[in-house]
Amino acid sequence: MATSLIGRQLGKYQITNLIGQGGMATVYRGYQLEVERYVAIKVLPPHPGQSDSFAERFQQEARTVARLQHPHIVPLYDYGDEDGILYLVMAYIEGGSLNDRIQQGPLPHDDINAMLRQVADALDYAHRQGIIHRDIKPDNILLDGEGHALITDFGIAKLAESNTRMTATGGVVGTPAYLSPEQGQGLPVSPASDIYSLGIVVYEMLTGEQPYQADTMMQVLLQHINGPVPSLRAAHSDFTPALDEALQRALSKRPEDRYPSARAFADTIRTALGQQPAVESASGSRETGPSITATGEIPILAPTQTGEHMVAVQPTESPRWNPLLLLGIFAVVVLVVVTIAVILLTLNPPTTTVEVASPTPVPPVVLDIPTPSAQMVGALRFGSIDADGDTANLQVSGLDQPGAGQMYVAWLYNSGTAAWQPLDRLPVDAFGDGILVYTDPDGAELPTVYNAVAISLEPADAAIGATPAGEIAYSGSIPLAVTEALDAVLRAAPDGLENTDGAPTSLLASAIIEAEFAQLHAGLAADASTLAGMRPHAEHTINILRGTQDDLDGNGRGENPGRGVGVEFFLDRIDAHLNTALSDADADPAVQQQIELIGVCITNSRRRVDEIMELERAVLAAANMDGLQPVMVAATDAAEALVEGEDLNQNGQIEAFEGECGLRQIATFGVSVGNINLVAGPLPNFE
């Protein structure tokens, strides 16, 4: 940046020193006085005349990234726009990057397996939320003090795409050495793009060098686009064919030929490495670089010249790139991208806006359920913008091109009611890749209503109707029992509490209502100055949690100022619905895994209910006020954690870990239970 911000206050953060500067942002260390912690502040480059639309995109992207809650993703704490300065606030992490490790030579296989699995799980989690990183590379994989790998810079590359000032390539965003072929051509990205970049990273972890090397950035880009897929055995003959084949699939030129998920790639590499002897480094050592200890920790590397390597550092490009040469190269890249765009527009001219026709009575169309063995061509992931589950992110790869005069249209479907919901036209590029994001205008909780997704071929010149008129080309579903369970847990249940209009609320909302009453009375008990003032509220807290009206303080009458049902009752009902969904024979492992995450939150909530009641009983049993102050503090803390969860590991996010997530996180994980994978063809008949 032209002007240093050191010493300046940005929002709640005092800028203390510069960490690093790159093409996409400048990174400062800041201090947040109110919580006494250091943070990393990434400041986007200034651009005179910055449009309101870019600032809005910045805020929207920051909000989306901030929702990423995963132990292997660097958390985004905050963001802001102050005097035209756009900035992101991230966790401040001391340690090294994966690039620092690689500089010491090839990594031991155990280290590769551990870090790859962590990064793969984080990527798959982000992809399920509809978020693609776009710039996976060793410098964007940080290692914390305990050796855990964390991905940083989610959202930065996407912001760069919408602001050509942030990248000299005029639209090609990313680091050339790790760029997927589709990114190099300026085509739409997908989760497969991140898997390709991760494949390059793994190649480098195995060999200590990048697969594509050239004198200019343009030559590297062209090798990614047109060059042969790198062969491990060609460069290092001691690698096994299984490992070579595993890596080559990740580095396929066509996105649809790569792995369906980052975890599938990691699992294949793990299996292949189990057949692979240790690889010697250039120095002859068979264990180069610090390895993970028996406890799973990676020793912290020696400090860099600045004495620290922080989370959000955007390293500068290699000094071998000549700036004058780059100007010419970037001009060529722009020309290539524009030419490709013109060709694609010629082959697939944009259609006019399609208006959704008013629903008309038509016979219901019955769909089918996909067979588990079918090859996945895409996924529908639910997210939240204005309400839980009100957004559907559909991403597809390798679809056939629609025929002449045809277009793809995406739909949601409920197999129980045969109800359809048109999403919109699904445009695909020359490779059959496409992305569609739909947010329900009424804030409907989509995964509680629909258990299937379909893509149909419709006349390109016709308005979208209420149900598909053409052939169902691609589809996917989850068991209806799962959707019905989500409906009861997240939207409305007959045994839920009534709202002000007399309509039933969801089981989760009911549990939170009762828990908030208990939290209120636990606080009132803590605020009382006498034991006589504490006891009634201690009784109230216990009765609210249990749904009882017992006389616990001995005043001759039992009182329950809550709704009289209890948190325990609603936790039991949530458990029952989820167990029904889990027992469905068609519930696949992905659905089961997400339900298990909710189970962690339910278990945490039950333990907190028991803890609160035990503490309140200690108040009721006390003869005097001696020693009660810490008991009441513990009770109010537990009551707050029951509702909001607790960030025990202090990583800025509340996760599905023992002792962390609470009632509110059930909605976060519940939305993802409804995610659906797509396969080719219509679904077999629903039973």
Q: Tell me which residues are annotated as active site.
A: 135
Return the structure tokens found at 81. Answer: 């726009």
Q: Name the burial class of residue 287, with classes exposed (0-12), middle (13-18) and buried (19+) by CB atoms within 10 angstroms of its CB.
A: middle
Sign of the alpha-carbon dihedral angle for 111, 117, 118, 119: positive
Return the structure tokens found at 535. Answer: 């006891």
Closest Cα partner for 309 from 542, 150, 133? Answer: 150
Computed over its alpha carbons, how large is the radius of gyration of the chain? 27
* CA dist list (Å): 37 to 33, 34, 77, 536, 667: 7, 8, 12, 39, 29
Strands (DSSP E) found in 371-418: 376-383, 391-396, 406-414
Residue 157 near residue 171, CB atoms below 8 Å: no
State the helix-helix crossing angle for 507-527 and 664-673, rounded to 10 degrees.
160
Give, in degrees to the nearest 5, the angle at Cα 194 between 192 and 198: 115
How does DSSP assign 86-150, residue by residue?
EEEEEE---SEEHHHHHTT-SPPHHHHHHHHHHHHHHHHHHHHTT---S---GGGEEE-TTS-EE
Please provide residue 49's backbone torsions phi and psi, each rounded to the nearest 5 degrees.
75, 25
Give the integer Cα–Cα distance in Å for 176 and 282. 25
The string over 498-511, giving b where at least 16 C-beta atoms fall within 10 Å of a residue's C-beta and e elsewhere, is: eeeeeebbbbbbbb
Give the integer Cα–Cα distance in Å for 211 and 220. 10
Side-chain-side CA neighbours of 432 within 13 Å: the count stands at 17
What is the arrangement of strands in the sheet containing 434-439, beginning at the earlier edge strand?
419-425, 406-414, 452-459, 472-477, 676-680, 376-383, 391-396, 434-439
Give the integer Cα–Cα distance in Å for 570 and 576. 10
Give, in degrees to the nearest 5, the angle at Cα 578 between 575 and 582: 130
Q: Name the burial class of residue 386, with classes exposed (0-12), middle (13-18) and buried (19+) by CB atoms within 10 angstroms of its CB.
A: exposed
Task: Give the containing element (helix H, strand E) for 572.
Answer: helix 567-582
Q: How many other β-carbons are positioned within 10 Å of the β-carbon of residue 610?
A: 13
Give the integer Cα–Cα distance in Å for 54 and 410. 28
